[in-house]
Amino acid sequence: MEPIKAGVIGCGNISSIYMENVKKFKTFNIIACADIDITRAEDRAKEFNIPLACLPEELLENETIDIIINLTTPNVHAKIATAALQAGKHVYGEKPFAITREEGREILKLAKEKKLVVGGAPDTFLGGGLQTCRKLIDDGWIGAPVSATAFMMNHGHERWHPNPDFYYQKGAGPMFDMGPYYLTALISLLGPIRKVNSSSRITFPERTITSNPRYGEKIQVNTPTQINGVIDFESGAIASIITSFDVWHHRLPFIEIYGTEGSLAVPDPNTFDGPVLIRRHDQENWREIPLINAFIENSRGLGIADMAFAILNNEKPRASGELAYHVLDVMQGFLDASVDNQAYSLNSTCEQPKPLPSYQFLLENY
């Protein structure tokens, strides 16, 4: 089959890895890129030999493009996704899926009405590290999963990011910024979530930028920067999660899964590789497990490749809109639970994504 033709809207920093990685995949090609700053689009097109650079509205009107890759800032993710669906195009977007549940539901509703496919990042759960973890769990190496822990803690972005303001506003913070990686990984390993509870706070109401070129400027913090949560999965497993921009140093793992027969150390869910470590109940030491997947380096775009394959073969994509919306619902649920001082029962669910096919199949078909 001919690869699906894709166009990128949003030519900021994250776009470069997508444009670089497209050469790894057989199922889609990027034939156009667009940005509200046409110069930025033209620079990306020249850098990555993309045939067309244009404004977003021109790209949406281009009838040769089948998939829009939405790499805009989170506050306009829903706007661009809606416009793309209205234009008759499938959409794959960067995380988060949207910044409110209402926006997310409208995207799913419109996609269903238009009989189009939507999906979203992160796609790191399709990489070698997390797919190896999935196989170990599915094959019973740690027995039935009982519990899990997940930790994402640092001291924020103002020390290094040139424009860190957004990370401290609604739709961002540590939960909306990095939570999608951790929650998507957990759902891919343990299935959908039933209920969440949490406590949260804003530790530093004002932040000072110490990076150039805005050294010394102040940022007002308008979203929680310390979120400690508890997750109840539909399967019965229970997890603890912390996402924080208020921690200077720690020695906690990324993710660990604890089962009736052993424990599994899961790699950084913001990467595609390992290490994957396992220790069964009767073993003295942890041991590293070789990775099973064809994609173990930075392979952002793998979710688009899988989505394109699904469209071409009338299947469901793994990095689906339903999964991305379920993650959005969970993240907002943590914030709601803290404000309401009671657990939030999820109004959404999703299918646990199927494991990827074999190594050889991926090399030949993706």
Handedness of CA 252, 257, 263, 265 (dihedral sign): negative
Q: Give 125-292+326-345's CATH code, choosing from 1.20.120.350, 3.50.50.60, 3.30.360.10, 1.20.1370.20.
A: 3.30.360.10
Q: What is the pLDDT of residue 364?
A: 82
Here the tokens at position 25 are 């995949």
Is residue 166 within 8 A of residue 13, CB to CB? The reply is no
Q: Model-level pTM?
A: 0.95
State the DSSP code for 60. H
Boundaries of every domain in the chain: 4-120, 125-292+326-345
Q: Would you state the pLDDT for residue 347? A: 94
CA distance 267 to 80: 32
Select from 180, 216, 222 the least CA-distant residue to 200.
222
Strand duo 90-93 + 67-70: pairing: parallel
Strands 67-70 and 4-9: parallel
Query: How far is Cα 362 from Cα 312, in angstroms, rounded to an integer?
Result: 15
The domain defined by 4-120 carries CATH number 3.40.50.720: yes
Closest to 346 measured CA to CA, from 232, 178, 199, 229: 232
- The dihedral through the CA atoms of 248, 254, 259, 262 has a sign that is negative
**How far is Cα 78 from Cα 102, in angstroms, rounded to an integer?**
10
How far apart are alpha carbons 48 and 20 in whole angstroms?
7
Consecutive sets of 10 residues in the chain, 366 residues long: mean pLDDT of each?
Answer: 94 94 95 97 97 97 97 93 98 95 97 97 97 98 98 96 90 95 98 98 97 94 97 98 98 98 98 97 97 91 96 96 98 97 97 90 83
| Helix (H), strand (E) at residue 337 | helix 321-340
By CB atoms closer than 10 A (0-12, 13-18, 19+), residue 23 is exposed
